[in-house]
Amino acid sequence: MLFKCKNCGGNVVFEPSRQKMYCPHCEGEDSENLVTGGSAAQCLNCGAPLELPEDASAARCSHCGSYLIFDERVEGALRPNLVLPFRLNKEQAVAKLNQEFSNRVFTPSDFMSTKSLEQMEGDYVPFWLYDFQAQYDFVGEGTRVRTWRSGNTEYVETSYYEVVRRMDADFDKVPVDASYQMDDSVMDLMEPYDYQALENFDPKFMSGFYAQIYNQPPQELESRARDKAGHASEELLQQSLSGYGTMRPLRKNLNLQPKGAFYALLPVWRYRYRYRNQDYLFYVNGQTGKVIGVSPVSRPKVLFYSASVFALVTAVCGLALRFLWML
Amino acid sequence: MRGVTAKARYSSRDNTECDTTERVFDYADVLSDNEEEKLRSLIAKRERQCGCDIVLVTLDRSLKDEAREIDPDVDYEEFVRIYAEQFYEEHNFGYDRANGDGTILVDNWYREDDGNIYTWLTTTGRAYDKMSDYDVDYVLDDVYRYIERNPYRAYKTYVNGVYRQMTGSGLFRLRVPGWIPWLAGIIAALGFLLFNWNSKKGASTVTAFTYVAGKQAQFPVRQDRFLRKSVTQHTIQTSSSGGSSGHSSGGGGGHSSGSHGGGGHHR
C-alpha cells in the first residue's frame, strides 16, 4: 500500500513533529489517500522492481523515493496490535546524536557530516510486549545487630526475626525485540518507551519509515521477558527487606503468570557510519531521543591530543620546577 | 616571602676575621667581568638571606703535587677537596665566625692526568649540618647540568642551590628528579585518553518499577516476627603503658672549627 496526496499526488508520510500525515511536496496535512495493493517485489508507485529483505514490511523505493507498506506483511498474523509512532523527526534525531557526540574529542571529524547523515533512516522494530502477573512468596530469617560498650566490655546483641513477604505485582508490556537484525543488548538499552503514546496499529504511521515483521514468535521470546520481570521482582522484594544486617532465605517462590503478549512496532532512528572499512551503528530512540552506540576513534586525533597534553603538561611542570628551583 | 623571613633571621655577619670580602675567585677566567659582578651581587644577597658564606673558586691548573705533598696517598678526586678546605680555612671564611657557617665550590677546569676534571663542594658549620651528602650531590648535579655550555649559569645554580638547601623547607626542598615532568606529562596524557575514551554503548535507564502497573508492588502479607535474641561480650584490650609520650633526643654532633663536609664530581 501507499499513501498518496489528494492534492498533488505526491507521497504522503507521517511527520513526527506534527504527529500528522504530511505531504512534503505540497505541504498539505492529512491529505492522504490510501492506495492498496502492490507487492514487495515491485513498487506500487513506479513499477520498479524492489530488492528488499524478506522480513521488510515497509521500505522506500530506491527509484522514485516513495515509501511503501507491503499489505501482505501487515495483515493476518503479521498485523501488529500496537504501534508507537515516531515523536522525533530526522532533524531532531540528528540533534540528539550531535548532543551526545559533539563533545567527544576523539570522534572522527566527518562523523556528523551531512553526507554521512543521509544514510540515517527511521525503522519500526518489531517487539513483543508481555504482560505478567507476579506473585512472590518469601520466608527468611533476618538479623539486626546492636553494639555497645560498658567499661572495658563490648556487647553485641543479635536479634533474629522471621521475615514473611507476599508480593503481588502486575507487569505491563515488558518489551523484547523480535528482530534478528537488532542486537538484543542494544535494544534493551533503548528502553524504556513511554507507552502512553501507544496507538492501535494503523499503517499510516509506517509511511515515511522502514519496518520489519517479527522474526521470532512470542513463545520463543517469552523466556527473555520472564527474566526481565523476574529480575525486577527480585529487586522489588529486596527493597522491602531493608533494615536487616543479614537475610537468610528459607523459602522463596516466584510465580510469573503470563497474561498476554502483544505485537508492537517501536520507533528507532538508525545511523550507520563507516570508518576505516568498519561499520559503526548508532540508534536513537524515536520517541525519547535516548542515544545508543560507541563512536569510532580517530587515531590522528588521539595522537594529536595526547601529544599536545603531554607536551603542555611536561613543559608546565618543567618550568614550574625550574621556577621553584630558581627562587 | 621566604627571602624576607631569611633576611630577618640573618641580618648581621659576625665573622670579623675573614681576610677578604671577595667571594668569586675566577682564576680559570671562565667568567666575564660582568658575570663575575652579577655573581658577587647574587652571593651577597644570598649570604644575608641564609646566613652562610658562599665562595666560588675556579682553577685551571693541576692540584696533584700540592695535594700529594699533604697526603701522598690521596686520590685524584680528593685534590680539589684538599684545596677547597685549605682555601676556606686560610681566608677564615664563615658567616658567624672564622671557619664557621659557609660553603665553597672549587671547580678545577684543568684535566688531571687521569683524564678527568674535578669539582668539590665543601660545607662547614650550619651548612654541614643542613646539607647531607645527598643534598651536596644534588647541587653538584645541577651545576654539572650547565657547566660545559654556560659556566655562569652553573655557578649561579650553585649559589641558588646552597641558598635553597639552607633556607628552604617543604615543597621548596623537594628532591624532584628531572624525569618527573616527563612522567607527569605521560600520566596527564594517559588520564586525558582514559577520560575521553568512551567505549560504552549507553546506560540502562530501566528500573524495577518501569513495567510495574501503578509503579508499585503490593504486599498483602508483610510480617517481621521477633524470634530470639543473643548477646555476646568481650573485653577490650587496652594498652598498659602509662608513661609520658614525650620524646627524648640525643645531643647534636658539634663540629669543631675546621671540620668540613661536602662532596665532589668529575667530568
Instruction: Tell me the pLDDT tens digit for each residue of A275-290.
Output: 888 888 899 999 999 9
pLDDT of B256 over the 70 cut:
no
pLDDT of A82 over the 80 cut:
yes
- Please tell me the predicted confidence (pLDDT) of residue B115: 87
Quote the CA–CA distance of B175 and A70 in Å, as a whole number: 77
| Disruptive mutation site among B211, B218, B232 for chain A (greatest number of A CBs within 10 Å) | B211
Identify whether the C-beta of residue B67 lies closer than 8 Å to the C-beta of residue B47.
no
- Region A95-113 average pLDDT: 84
Pick from B2, B202, B217: CB nearest A327: B2
Residue A206: count of CB within 10 angstroms of its CB: 29
- Region A185-199 average pLDDT: 93
For residue A201, give how far its alpha carbon lies from the nearest alpha carbon of chain B (Å): 21
- Region A236-250 average pLDDT: 94
pLDDT category at B134 given cuts 50, 70, 90 is confident
For residue B216, give how far its alpha carbon lies from the nearest alpha carbon of chain A (Å): 7
pLDDT of A326 over the 60 cut:
no
In this predicted structure, which of A67-81, B192-206, B222-236 has the lowest mean pLDDT? B192-206
- Please tell me the predicted confidence (pLDDT) of residue B259: 66
Domains contained in chain B, number: 1
- Region A29-52 average pLDDT: 89
Q: Which residues of B touch A227 (CB under 8 A)?
A: none
- Region B110-136 average pLDDT: 89
Q: Which residues of A touch B204 (CB under 8 A)?
A: 188-189, 191
Q: The complex's ipTM?
A: 0.85
- Please tell me the predicted confidence (pLDDT) of residue A158: 94
- Please tell me the predicted confidence (pLDDT) of residue A220: 95
- What average pLDDT is seen over chain A? 92
Identify whether the C-beta of residue A143 lies closer than 8 Å to the C-beta of residue A158.
yes
For residue B10, give how far its alpha carbon lies from the nearest alpha carbon of chain A (Å): 18
For residue B90, give how far its alpha carbon lies from the nearest alpha carbon of chain A (Å): 31
pLDDT of A327 over the 80 cut:
no
Q: CA torsion, points B23, B27, B33, B35, in degrees to nearest 10?
A: -60
pLDDT category at A152 given cuts 50, 70, 90 is confident
Quote the CA–CA distance of A307 and A317 in Å, as a whole number: 15
- Please tell me the predicted confidence (pLDDT) of residue A130: 97
Q: Which residues of A touch B182 (CB under 8 A)?
A: 314
- Region A265-283 average pLDDT: 90
- Region B206-215 average pLDDT: 92
| Closest residue by Cα to residue A74 from A211, A178, A266, A197 | A211
Pick from B211, B225, B228: CB nearest A172: B211
Residue spans of the domains in chain A: they are: 1-73, 125-296, 298-327
Top-confidence range, B141-145, B154-158, B167-171: B154-158
- Please tell me the predicted confidence (pLDDT) of residue B1: 28
- Please tell me the predicted confidence (pLDDT) of residue A105: 84
User: Do the Cβ atoms of B211 and A174 come within 8 Å?
Assistant: yes
Q: Would you give the distance in Å from CA B7 to the centre of its chain? A: 20
| Closest residue by Cα to residue A192 from A89, A259, A263, A288 | A288
pLDDT of B73 over the 50 cut:
yes
In a domain, B38, yes or no: yes
| Disruptive mutation site among B173, B201, B218, B229 for chain A (greatest number of A CBs within 10 Å) | B201
- Please tell me the predicted confidence (pLDDT) of residue B247: 31
In a domain, B216, yes or no: no
In a domain, B242, yes or no: no
Q: Which residue is it, cell 535507564?
A: B205
Strand extents, DSSP E, chain A: 2-5, 13-15, 20-22, 32-35, 56-60, 67-69, 82-83, 121-150, 153-177, 199-200, 210-212, 246-275, 278-285, 291-292
pLDDT category at B105 given cuts 50, 70, 90 is very high
Q: Would you give the distance in Å from CA A240 to the centre of its chain? A: 30
- What average pLDDT is seen over chain B? 82
- Please tell me the predicted confidence (pLDDT) of residue B50: 87
Q: Which residue is it, cell 515523536?
A: A87
CATH number at residue B101: 3.10.310.50
- Please tell me the predicted confidence (pLDDT) of residue B239: 55
pLDDT category at B236 given cuts 50, 70, 90 is confident
Cis before A192? omega within 30: yes
| Beta bridge mates, A58 | A69, A211
Strand pairing of B53-59 and B102-108? Answer: parallel
**Helices and strands, counts by H and E, chain B:** 8, 6
The residue ranking higher by pLDDT, B178 or A270, is A270
- Please tell me the predicted confidence (pLDDT) of residue B252: 30
pLDDT of B246 over the 80 cut:
no
Quote the CA–CA distance of B214 and A322 in Å, as a whole number: 66
